[in-house]
Amino acid sequence: MPATGQSLGAATRDGVIERAREALALKRLDEPDSSDHLRRPDVSDLLRHSIPDDAQPVTITPAPINPLSLEVRRAIEASTLSTEAIARQLNTGHWVILRMMDPFYWKHSLVTLRELADALQLTVQVTLIPAEEQARKLGGTGSAGRAPRTSGSAP
């Protein structure tokens, strides 16, 4: 994918598109001023010759990034604990901690966040704000638009 300098692969066309959306989102996260570059069709001559004549162009928009996952990552990286040590404290697998840090993961539970905060000697603070305000904070990229709605009460 020319805009990110990455080669993407997946078992299905939809899988490749989703990986491309995530790669674009990460590129935008790393380089917030890169949005103009990402919109420009930039295919090198070498790559252009390998594209079949019947290929259909696909417009790809960056995948939404969960700001909660970014905050979890920041807190873990700022701690003195490894993800393995945190997993042991939470009596769970290392992969669970890594998943919570994944910017495309949207299923954090408040219970698990509280347990993570306890392990890191932090507290959890929840603030509900209008979606439009969150979108403005994230640069209007729509990154906040996919947050799942949850129901029920937290302990």
pLDDT tens track for 17-58:
899 899 989 988 888 765 544 444 555 665 666 777 787 778
One-letter amino acid identity for 22? Answer: E
Q: How far apart are CA 61 and CA 18, in angstroms?
A: 10
Q: If you average pLDDT over residues 5-12, what whole number do you get?
A: 71
Give the pTM: 0.69
Phi and psi at 43, nearest 5°, equal -115, 120
Provide the 3-class DSSP secondary structure of residue 72: helix
One-letter amino acid identity for 101? Answer: M
> Which residues, including other chains, have CB under 8 Å from residue 10's CB and lie 6 or more apart?
16, 18, 19
Percent of the chain with pLDDT over 90: 46
Q: State the DSSP code for 148.
A: P
